[in-house]
Structure 1
Amino acid sequence: MDSKSLIIDIATMLFQQKGFKGVGLNEILKACNLSKGSLYHHFPNGKEELLIACLQSLNEAITKDIEEVFKRYPTTQEATNAIIEKLIVKYETEGTIEGYTFSSMVSEMATLSDPIRNACYQLYQNVQQIFSTKLIADGFSKETAHSIALMMNASIEGGLMLCLTQKASEPLRVVAEVLPNLLKGY
Protein backbone atom coordinates (compact mmCIF):
# COMPACT_ATOMS: atom_id res chain seq x y z
CA MET A 1 0.00 0.00 0.00
CA ASP A 2 1.37 3.42 -0.90
CA SER A 3 1.87 6.04 1.80
CA LYS A 4 -1.08 8.20 0.69
CA SER A 5 -3.51 5.25 0.87
CA LEU A 6 -2.06 4.22 4.23
CA ILE A 7 -2.56 7.72 5.63
CA ILE A 8 -6.16 7.84 4.35
CA ASP A 9 -7.02 4.38 5.73
CA ILE A 10 -5.57 5.01 9.17
CA ALA A 11 -6.86 8.58 9.42
CA THR A 12 -10.35 7.44 8.41
CA MET A 13 -10.36 4.84 11.16
CA LEU A 14 -9.10 7.33 13.74
CA PHE A 15 -11.55 10.07 12.66
CA GLN A 16 -14.43 7.60 12.95
CA GLN A 17 -13.30 6.46 16.39
CA LYS A 18 -12.39 9.83 17.90
CA GLY A 19 -13.82 12.53 15.66
CA PHE A 20 -11.93 15.12 13.66
CA LYS A 21 -11.05 17.30 16.62
CA GLY A 22 -10.10 14.32 18.79
CA VAL A 23 -7.31 13.19 16.48
CA GLY A 24 -4.08 15.11 16.06
CA LEU A 25 -1.75 14.90 13.09
CA ASN A 26 0.97 13.47 15.32
CA GLU A 27 -1.31 10.58 16.29
CA ILE A 28 -2.01 9.84 12.62
CA LEU A 29 1.67 10.03 11.74
CA LYS A 30 2.63 7.75 14.63
CA ALA A 31 0.00 5.18 13.62
CA CYS A 32 1.25 5.33 10.01
CA ASN A 33 4.92 5.37 11.05
CA LEU A 34 5.51 8.28 8.67
CA SER A 35 7.03 11.74 8.90
CA LYS A 36 5.23 15.07 8.74
CA GLY A 37 6.89 15.63 5.39
CA SER A 38 5.13 12.54 3.99
CA LEU A 39 1.76 13.76 5.18
CA TYR A 40 2.22 17.29 3.84
CA HIS A 41 3.56 15.91 0.56
CA HIS A 42 0.19 14.23 -0.02
CA PHE A 43 -1.98 16.75 1.84
CA PRO A 44 -0.28 20.16 1.60
CA ASN A 45 -3.30 21.90 3.16
CA GLY A 46 -3.15 19.69 6.24
CA LYS A 47 -5.75 17.97 8.34
CA GLU A 48 -8.89 19.33 6.67
CA GLU A 49 -7.66 18.23 3.25
CA LEU A 50 -6.91 14.80 4.73
CA LEU A 51 -10.42 14.58 6.18
CA ILE A 52 -11.93 15.38 2.78
CA ALA A 53 -9.82 12.61 1.23
CA CYS A 54 -11.04 10.24 3.96
CA LEU A 55 -14.66 11.20 3.29
CA GLN A 56 -14.15 10.67 -0.44
CA SER A 57 -12.64 7.25 0.25
CA LEU A 58 -15.60 6.36 2.48
CA ASN A 59 -17.94 7.63 -0.22
CA GLU A 60 -16.41 5.29 -2.80
CA ALA A 61 -16.40 2.27 -0.49
CA ILE A 62 -19.92 2.74 0.87
CA THR A 63 -21.40 3.56 -2.54
CA LYS A 64 -19.75 0.51 -4.13
CA ASP A 65 -20.93 -1.78 -1.33
CA ILE A 66 -24.53 -0.55 -1.47
CA GLU A 67 -24.61 -0.71 -5.28
CA GLU A 68 -23.38 -4.32 -5.20
CA VAL A 69 -26.03 -5.34 -2.68
CA PHE A 70 -28.81 -3.51 -4.54
CA LYS A 71 -27.85 -5.24 -7.81
CA ARG A 72 -28.23 -8.67 -6.19
CA TYR A 73 -31.84 -8.18 -5.05
CA PRO A 74 -34.89 -7.64 -7.26
CA THR A 75 -36.75 -5.21 -4.97
CA THR A 76 -35.87 -2.24 -2.81
CA GLN A 77 -37.33 -3.99 0.23
CA GLU A 78 -35.13 -7.08 -0.20
CA ALA A 79 -32.01 -5.02 -0.93
CA THR A 80 -32.64 -2.72 2.03
CA ASN A 81 -33.15 -5.67 4.35
CA ALA A 82 -29.88 -7.18 3.10
CA ILE A 83 -27.98 -3.92 3.76
CA ILE A 84 -29.44 -3.56 7.23
CA GLU A 85 -28.75 -7.21 8.07
CA LYS A 86 -25.15 -6.73 6.93
CA LEU A 87 -24.83 -3.71 9.22
CA ILE A 88 -26.36 -5.64 12.14
CA VAL A 89 -23.95 -8.54 11.66
CA LYS A 90 -21.01 -6.13 11.41
CA TYR A 91 -22.09 -4.38 14.60
CA GLU A 92 -22.72 -7.62 16.50
CA THR A 93 -19.40 -9.20 15.47
CA GLU A 94 -17.17 -6.11 15.70
CA GLY A 95 -19.00 -3.96 18.24
CA THR A 96 -18.84 -1.01 15.85
CA ILE A 97 -19.89 0.02 12.38
CA GLU A 98 -16.72 1.73 11.18
CA GLY A 99 -16.60 2.21 7.47
CA TYR A 100 -20.35 2.77 7.17
CA THR A 101 -21.07 5.91 9.10
CA PHE A 102 -19.54 9.33 9.26
CA SER A 103 -22.28 11.23 11.08
CA SER A 104 -19.94 12.22 13.87
CA MET A 105 -17.70 14.00 11.37
CA VAL A 106 -20.71 15.70 9.78
CA SER A 107 -22.02 16.99 13.08
CA GLU A 108 -18.57 18.09 14.20
CA MET A 109 -17.36 19.84 11.05
CA ALA A 110 -20.19 20.59 8.57
CA THR A 111 -20.92 24.04 9.94
CA LEU A 112 -17.23 24.94 10.06
CA SER A 113 -16.14 23.91 6.58
CA ASP A 114 -18.04 24.01 3.31
CA PRO A 115 -15.62 21.59 1.58
CA ILE A 116 -16.19 19.02 4.35
CA ARG A 117 -19.94 19.60 4.30
CA ASN A 118 -19.95 19.13 0.53
CA ALA A 119 -17.95 15.89 0.77
CA CYS A 120 -20.48 14.55 3.30
CA TYR A 121 -23.42 15.76 1.24
CA GLN A 122 -22.07 13.93 -1.80
CA LEU A 123 -22.05 10.60 0.04
CA TYR A 124 -25.60 11.06 1.27
CA GLN A 125 -26.66 11.99 -2.26
CA ASN A 126 -24.98 8.91 -3.74
CA VAL A 127 -26.72 6.59 -1.29
CA GLN A 128 -30.09 8.26 -1.84
CA GLN A 129 -29.63 7.96 -5.60
CA ILE A 130 -29.06 4.21 -5.30
CA PHE A 131 -32.22 3.90 -3.20
CA SER A 132 -34.20 6.16 -5.50
CA THR A 133 -33.18 4.32 -8.67
CA LYS A 134 -34.29 1.00 -7.17
CA LEU A 135 -37.58 2.50 -5.98
CA ILE A 136 -38.30 3.85 -9.46
CA ALA A 137 -37.59 0.36 -10.85
CA ASP A 138 -40.12 -0.93 -8.30
CA GLY A 139 -42.75 1.36 -9.85
CA PHE A 140 -42.66 4.44 -7.67
CA SER A 141 -42.85 7.86 -9.30
CA LYS A 142 -39.61 9.85 -9.39
CA GLU A 143 -40.86 12.33 -6.79
CA THR A 144 -42.11 9.64 -4.41
CA ALA A 145 -38.92 7.61 -4.89
CA HIS A 146 -36.78 10.62 -3.93
CA SER A 147 -38.87 11.22 -0.80
CA ILE A 148 -38.74 7.58 0.27
CA ALA A 149 -35.00 7.40 -0.47
CA LEU A 150 -34.37 10.36 1.83
CA MET A 151 -36.45 8.70 4.56
CA MET A 152 -34.60 5.41 4.11
CA ASN A 153 -31.22 7.13 4.28
CA ALA A 154 -32.18 9.08 7.40
CA SER A 155 -33.64 6.00 9.07
CA ILE A 156 -30.62 3.80 8.43
CA GLU A 157 -28.10 6.50 9.36
CA GLY A 158 -30.09 7.29 12.51
CA GLY A 159 -30.29 3.58 13.31
CA LEU A 160 -26.52 3.32 13.04
CA MET A 161 -26.03 6.19 15.47
CA LEU A 162 -28.55 4.74 17.92
CA CYS A 163 -26.81 1.34 17.80
CA LEU A 164 -23.56 2.99 18.74
CA THR A 165 -25.06 5.06 21.54
CA GLN A 166 -27.18 2.22 22.94
CA LYS A 167 -24.49 -0.43 22.42
CA ALA A 168 -27.12 -2.68 20.87
CA SER A 169 -28.27 -3.69 17.40
CA GLU A 170 -31.95 -3.24 18.28
CA PRO A 171 -32.34 0.17 16.58
CA LEU A 172 -31.34 -1.28 13.20
CA ARG A 173 -33.63 -4.25 13.78
CA VAL A 174 -36.52 -1.83 14.32
CA VAL A 175 -35.59 0.09 11.16
CA ALA A 176 -35.54 -3.21 9.23
CA GLU A 177 -38.99 -4.03 10.58
CA VAL A 178 -40.59 -0.62 10.01
CA LEU A 179 -39.13 0.43 6.62
CA PRO A 180 -41.07 -2.21 4.64
CA ASN A 181 -44.29 -0.86 6.14
CA LEU A 182 -43.40 2.62 4.91
CA LEU A 183 -42.84 1.23 1.41
CA LYS A 184 -46.28 -0.39 1.47
CA GLY A 185 -47.91 2.89 2.49
CA TYR A 186 -47.08 4.57 -0.81
Structure 2
Amino acid sequence: MDTKSQIIDVATLLFQQKGYKGVGLTEIIKTCNISKGSFYHHFPNGKEECLIACLRSLSDTITGEINRIFNQSPTTHEATKKMIEKLVGLLEVDGTIAGYTFTSIVSGMGSEIEPVRTVLSDFYLKMQKIYTTKLETDGFSKETAHSNALMMTASIEGAILLCMTQKTSGPLKTISQLLTKLLKEF
Protein backbone atom coordinates (compact mmCIF):
# COMPACT_ATOMS: atom_id res chain seq x y z
CA MET A 1 0.00 0.00 0.00
CA ASP A 2 1.38 3.41 -0.89
CA THR A 3 1.85 6.09 1.77
CA LYS A 4 -1.07 8.26 0.68
CA SER A 5 -3.47 5.29 0.79
CA GLN A 6 -2.10 4.32 4.20
CA ILE A 7 -2.67 7.83 5.52
CA ILE A 8 -6.24 7.84 4.16
CA ASP A 9 -7.02 4.43 5.67
CA VAL A 10 -5.53 5.26 9.06
CA ALA A 11 -7.01 8.76 9.22
CA THR A 12 -10.45 7.46 8.20
CA LEU A 13 -10.38 4.90 11.01
CA LEU A 14 -9.22 7.50 13.54
CA PHE A 15 -11.84 10.02 12.36
CA GLN A 16 -14.55 7.34 12.64
CA GLN A 17 -13.47 6.47 16.17
CA LYS A 18 -12.96 9.99 17.52
CA GLY A 19 -14.51 12.41 15.04
CA TYR A 20 -12.62 14.97 13.00
CA LYS A 21 -12.18 17.36 15.90
CA GLY A 22 -10.99 14.58 18.22
CA VAL A 23 -8.03 13.58 16.06
CA GLY A 24 -4.86 15.62 15.89
CA LEU A 25 -2.39 15.66 13.04
CA THR A 26 0.29 14.31 15.36
CA GLU A 27 -1.85 11.24 16.10
CA ILE A 28 -2.31 10.52 12.39
CA ILE A 29 1.41 10.89 11.72
CA LYS A 30 2.38 8.75 14.72
CA THR A 31 -0.14 5.99 13.90
CA CYS A 32 1.04 5.90 10.27
CA ASN A 33 4.67 5.92 11.43
CA ILE A 34 5.57 8.64 8.93
CA SER A 35 7.21 12.04 9.15
CA LYS A 36 5.33 15.32 9.15
CA GLY A 37 7.02 16.11 5.84
CA SER A 38 5.65 12.90 4.34
CA PHE A 39 2.14 13.80 5.47
CA TYR A 40 2.37 17.31 4.00
CA HIS A 41 3.84 15.91 0.78
CA HIS A 42 0.54 14.09 0.21
CA PHE A 43 -1.73 16.65 1.87
CA PRO A 44 -0.10 20.10 1.51
CA ASN A 45 -3.18 21.82 2.95
CA GLY A 46 -3.11 19.69 6.09
CA LYS A 47 -5.72 17.81 8.06
CA GLU A 48 -8.73 19.30 6.27
CA GLU A 49 -7.43 18.12 2.88
CA CYS A 50 -6.81 14.69 4.40
CA LEU A 51 -10.39 14.64 5.74
CA ILE A 52 -11.78 15.42 2.29
CA ALA A 53 -9.72 12.57 0.80
CA CYS A 54 -11.02 10.24 3.53
CA LEU A 55 -14.63 11.28 2.90
CA ARG A 56 -14.26 10.80 -0.87
CA SER A 57 -12.73 7.36 -0.36
CA LEU A 58 -15.47 6.38 2.09
CA SER A 59 -18.12 7.74 -0.28
CA ASP A 60 -16.75 5.62 -3.13
CA THR A 61 -16.73 2.52 -0.91
CA ILE A 62 -20.24 3.03 0.44
CA THR A 63 -21.90 4.00 -2.82
CA GLY A 64 -20.09 1.17 -4.60
CA GLU A 65 -21.54 -1.32 -2.13
CA ILE A 66 -25.02 0.21 -2.36
CA ASN A 67 -24.80 0.09 -6.16
CA ARG A 68 -23.75 -3.56 -6.06
CA ILE A 69 -26.65 -4.54 -3.79
CA PHE A 70 -29.22 -2.54 -5.78
CA ASN A 71 -27.96 -3.82 -9.14
CA GLN A 72 -28.11 -7.44 -7.95
CA SER A 73 -31.62 -7.15 -6.53
CA PRO A 74 -34.71 -7.33 -8.70
CA THR A 75 -36.68 -4.68 -6.74
CA THR A 76 -36.04 -1.74 -4.46
CA HIS A 77 -37.91 -3.59 -1.73
CA GLU A 78 -35.49 -6.55 -1.86
CA ALA A 79 -32.42 -4.32 -2.28
CA THR A 80 -33.36 -2.18 0.72
CA LYS A 81 -33.92 -5.26 2.85
CA LYS A 82 -30.55 -6.77 1.79
CA MET A 83 -28.71 -3.52 2.41
CA ILE A 84 -30.15 -3.07 5.88
CA GLU A 85 -29.56 -6.75 6.72
CA LYS A 86 -25.90 -6.22 5.80
CA LEU A 87 -25.68 -3.21 8.13
CA VAL A 88 -27.39 -5.12 10.96
CA GLY A 89 -25.00 -8.04 10.44
CA LEU A 90 -21.97 -5.76 10.60
CA LEU A 91 -23.24 -4.10 13.76
CA GLU A 92 -23.99 -7.40 15.45
CA VAL A 93 -20.64 -8.99 14.48
CA ASP A 94 -18.27 -6.01 14.61
CA GLY A 95 -20.12 -3.88 17.14
CA THR A 96 -20.05 -0.90 14.77
CA ILE A 97 -21.14 0.28 11.36
CA ALA A 98 -19.09 3.45 11.38
CA GLY A 99 -17.54 2.42 8.07
CA TYR A 100 -20.91 2.87 6.36
CA THR A 101 -21.73 6.40 7.43
CA PHE A 102 -20.09 9.81 7.66
CA THR A 103 -21.88 10.67 10.88
CA SER A 104 -19.13 9.50 13.23
CA ILE A 105 -16.54 11.55 11.36
CA VAL A 106 -18.23 14.89 10.85
CA SER A 107 -20.77 15.08 13.60
CA GLY A 108 -21.09 18.71 14.59
CA MET A 109 -18.83 20.12 11.88
CA GLY A 110 -20.21 19.09 8.48
CA SER A 111 -21.44 22.54 7.50
CA GLU A 112 -18.53 24.52 8.97
CA ILE A 113 -16.08 23.80 6.16
CA GLU A 114 -17.48 24.33 2.65
CA PRO A 115 -15.41 21.60 0.88
CA VAL A 116 -16.51 19.09 3.55
CA ARG A 117 -20.15 20.16 3.16
CA THR A 118 -19.82 19.68 -0.60
CA VAL A 119 -18.40 16.14 -0.25
CA LEU A 120 -21.18 15.23 2.19
CA SER A 121 -23.85 16.66 -0.09
CA ASP A 122 -22.43 14.77 -3.08
CA PHE A 123 -22.37 11.53 -1.08
CA TYR A 124 -26.00 11.77 -0.01
CA LEU A 125 -27.07 12.77 -3.54
CA LYS A 126 -25.26 9.70 -4.95
CA MET A 127 -27.12 7.48 -2.49
CA GLN A 128 -30.44 9.08 -3.39
CA LYS A 129 -29.73 8.67 -7.10
CA ILE A 130 -29.14 4.93 -6.65
CA TYR A 131 -32.44 4.62 -4.76
CA THR A 132 -34.32 6.87 -7.21
CA THR A 133 -33.11 4.92 -10.24
CA LYS A 134 -34.17 1.60 -8.72
CA LEU A 135 -37.54 2.99 -7.65
CA GLU A 136 -38.18 4.31 -11.17
CA THR A 137 -37.27 0.86 -12.53
CA ASP A 138 -39.89 -0.55 -10.14
CA GLY A 139 -42.49 1.70 -11.76
CA PHE A 140 -42.57 4.67 -9.41
CA SER A 141 -43.04 8.08 -11.02
CA LYS A 142 -39.97 10.31 -11.10
CA GLU A 143 -41.41 12.58 -8.38
CA THR A 144 -42.49 9.72 -6.10
CA ALA A 145 -39.18 7.92 -6.62
CA HIS A 146 -37.26 11.07 -5.68
CA SER A 147 -39.38 11.65 -2.55
CA ASN A 148 -39.07 8.03 -1.44
CA ALA A 149 -35.31 8.06 -2.08
CA LEU A 150 -34.96 11.09 0.18
CA MET A 151 -37.04 9.37 2.86
CA MET A 152 -34.96 6.19 2.54
CA THR A 153 -31.68 8.10 2.84
CA ALA A 154 -32.82 10.04 5.90
CA SER A 155 -34.34 6.96 7.55
CA ILE A 156 -31.32 4.74 7.04
CA GLU A 157 -28.79 7.40 8.08
CA GLY A 158 -30.86 8.24 11.14
CA ALA A 159 -31.17 4.57 12.06
CA ILE A 160 -27.40 4.11 11.70
CA LEU A 161 -26.81 7.01 14.09
CA LEU A 162 -29.28 5.54 16.60
CA CYS A 163 -27.64 2.10 16.32
CA MET A 164 -24.22 3.58 16.98
CA THR A 165 -25.35 5.63 19.98
CA GLN A 166 -27.60 2.93 21.46
CA LYS A 167 -25.22 0.05 20.61
CA THR A 168 -28.06 -2.04 19.23
CA SER A 169 -29.23 -3.04 15.77
CA GLY A 170 -32.87 -2.44 16.75
CA PRO A 171 -33.35 0.88 14.90
CA LEU A 172 -32.08 -0.59 11.61
CA LYS A 173 -34.29 -3.66 12.01
CA THR A 174 -37.31 -1.42 12.61
CA ILE A 175 -36.48 0.80 9.62
CA SER A 176 -36.03 -2.30 7.46
CA GLN A 177 -39.52 -3.53 8.33
CA LEU A 178 -41.12 -0.12 7.84
CA LEU A 179 -39.33 0.74 4.59
CA THR A 180 -39.89 -2.62 2.97
CA LYS A 181 -43.57 -2.56 3.98
CA LEU A 182 -43.95 0.96 2.62
CA LEU A 183 -42.20 0.09 -0.64
CA LYS A 184 -44.47 -2.94 -1.13
CA GLU A 185 -47.60 -0.81 -0.70
CA PHE A 186 -46.81 1.48 -3.62
TM-score by length of 1: 0.97
Query: How far is the alpha carbon of 1:115 from its aligned partner?
Result: 0.4
CA deviations on 1:147-174 (whole Å, 9 max, x unpaired) are 0001001111111111111111010000
Deviations 1:71-126 (A, max 9, x none): 11100010010000000000000000121011133432222111000001111011
Q: Paired residue for 2:175?
A: 175
Where in structure 2 are the equivalents of 1:147-158 lying within 5 Å? Answer: 147-158=147-158
Q: In 2, distance between residues paired with 1:57 and 1:152?
A: 22
Letter in 2 for 1:174: T
Q: Residue 74 of structure 2 corresponds to which residue in structure 1?
A: 74
Equivalence for 1:85 = 85
Q: C-alpha distance in 2, partners of 1:15/1:96? A: 14
Please name the residue that 1:63 is paired with. 63
SS in 1 for 2:111: coil
Instruction: Give yes or no for contact 2:77–2:184 (8 Å, CA) kept in 1.
Output: no
Structure 1 Cα separation of the partners of residues 181 and 106 of structure 2:
29
Deviation, 1:66, is 0.6
CA drift of 1:185 comes to 4.4
Distance 2:141 2:148 in 1: 10
Q: Matches of 1:182 and 1:105 in 2, distance apart?
A: 31
CA distance in 2 between counterparts of 1:18 and 1:123 reads 21
SS at match of 2:21: coil
Distance 1:159 1:86 in 2: 14
Give the equivalent residue in structure 1 for 2:95.
Answer: 95
Matched residues, percent identical? Answer: 60
How far apart are the structure 1 equivalents of 2:81 and 2:185?
17
Shift of 1:183: 1.8
Q: Distance in 2 between matches of 1:117 and 1:138?
A: 32
CA distance in 1, matches of 2:108, 2:41: 26
Unpaired segments ≥5 residues, structure 2: none
1:140 aligned partner? 140
2:121 alignment counterpart: 121
